Amino acid sequence: MTTAAERLSRLIQCRTVSAPDERDETEFERFRATFAELYPRLHADLELTRFPGGSLLFRWPGAASDRPLVLMAHYDVVPAPPEQWESDPFGGEIRDGRVHGRGALDDKGPLVTVAEAVESLLAEGFVPAHDVYLSFGADEEVFGTGAAEIVDHLEAGGVRPWLVSDEGGAIVEGALPGVAGRTAMIAIVEKGTVDVELLARGGGGHASTPAKGGATARLARAITRIERHPSPPRLTEPVTLMLKTLASRARGPLAAVLANVDRAPRPVAELLARFGPETAAMVRTTIAVTQLSGSPARNVLATEARATLNVRLLVGDTKATLIDRLTRLLRGLDVEIARVQGENPPPVSRTDNDAWQAMVAALATTMPEVLAVPYAQTGGTDSRHFTRISDSVYRFAPLLMSREQRDAIHAPNEYVEVEALERGAVFFRALLTAHR
């Protein structure tokens, strides 16, 4: 009998890379054909709508069409230079109780846990109490339009999801220093993602006779100034809720600090900012310089020098506040903001309703030792589009991920534990069968 790990291995072998110069549509078609082969009941019994670009929407008719459930994932992946990996990133190798390869965690592994749950329930003749939709994107890694088009389609049909579940948080050990045990980090919001292009202009000329304050030098000073003046840390409502929830797993004085975090929000925010990059990103808007360009030749002075800033906006910040901050930081440098493209943070999802309780109950059924914790996610997902039609959008992959594994997402040597895959499928079975 073919296992979930073996099916994931086959899907990893499809090189569904989303990148401007690396996307091969034949590999995306191969993925869809392989997926249909591996999950025949899902394709035979559910209604499938295909969207331009390869995104897929399956509808599993339930006994009623109200309170529909949406389970999301994406099957495109980021590039994986093989020379940086210990094994073939698209080999899907299974060894040492792990499935190795690009997409094992982000996001083919979570996609497989959803498909495994649905396929097994179909085999048992299960009929959901309410309609279930499976939304599988093909362009998430490049902030494409697939998920937005799916939402347009659902909205036009009057579909208002009761609950939306997408990738995001995971099951982690020791969520914060001083917090014991495993916790399920379920994101109730994500940061806004904005790209900013900085531009410095120069007169050009021969590199043998450079003038002071050229375009590249001014751009370098701008980057240094931004790096030296990070956004001030602050606690948002989702992070405050996270800390209060974690208080039950904290030891010593830390438990009291977390339980009463709203009495001293600023010192706690500053403390989290010092714990490390992951927690710092939870309490401040981050700015990362990701691309640089200057002269097209080594002996020519640049007439234009450009830098791309990838910004992740904290809840409460906006593109307008970002532009104001950058304008102040760049004052006197003769560097302009040439382009701003992206989105503000989406609305915060509810935790006071039966949809949130369904996530908590499914976790308790399958992994009773794990505490459900709401939090704010630092990365972006396709689920942000679904906040237009649902107030209960949760970002959580029910997979145990170590620090090493989380660091391998978008980096070399990504892998998922075979046991984690199997437990993840059980989680989605519980969520599907409990929805009444």
Q: Which residue has the tokens 């097994």?
A: 120
pLDDT score for 174: 87
Query: Given this model, what pLDDT does residue 54 score?
Result: 97
CA distance 71 to 22: 28
> Is the Cβ–Cβ distance between 382 and 72 less than 8 Å?
yes
Distances (CA, A) of 256 to 243, 276, 429: 11, 22, 37
CB atoms within 10 A of CB 248: 13
Per-residue DSSP letter, 352: S
User: What are the beta bridge partners of residue 189?
Assistant: 376
Q: Distance between CA atoms of 195 and 177, rounded to whole angstroms? A: 32
Question: What are the residue ranges in the chain where pLDDT is below 70?
Answer: 1
Q: Which pLDDT value is given to residue 292?
A: 97
Other CB atoms within a 10 A radius of the CB of residue 267 amount to 12
- CA 81 to chain centroid: 21
Pairing of strands 163-173, 130-137: unpaired
Contact 293, 202 (CB under 8 A): no
Quote the pLDDT of residue 418.
Answer: 97
Cβ proximity of 379 and 152 under 8 Å:
no
The sign of the dihedral angle between the CA atoms of 23, 25, 31, 32 is positive
- Write down the pLDDT at residue 288: 97
pLDDT at 28: 98
3-state secondary structure at position 23:
coil
> Which pLDDT belongs to residue 254?
84
Q: What does the pLDDT read at residue 257? A: 87
Answer for the pair 137, 75: CB distance below 8 angstroms, yes or no.
yes
**What gap in Å lies between CA 139 and CA 141, rounded to an integer?**
6
Q: Could you tell me the domains of the chain?
A: 4-170+375-434 (3.40.630.10), 192-342 (3.30.70.360)
Give residue 194's pLDDT: 97
**Interatomic CA distance for residues 197 and 199, integer angstroms:** 7
Q: What is the model's pLDDT at position 2?
A: 85
Q: What angle do CA 73, 368, 262 make, to 5 degrees?
A: 80
CA torsion, ordered 6, 56, 138, 35, to nearest 10 deg: 20
Half-sphere exposure in the Cβ direction for 24 (13 Å, CA): 10
Whole-number Å distance between alpha carbons of 198 and 221 = 12
Using CA atoms, how far apart are residues 24 and 10, in angstroms rounded to an integer?
17
**Nearest-angstrom CA–CA distance, 126 and 123:** 8
CA distance 92 to 31: 13
Q: Return the amino acid letter for 130.
A: H
pTM of the model: 0.93
- Sheet of strand 415-417: strand arrangement: 94-95, 98-100, 415-417
CA neighbours closer than 13 Å in the CB half-sphere of residue 169: 28
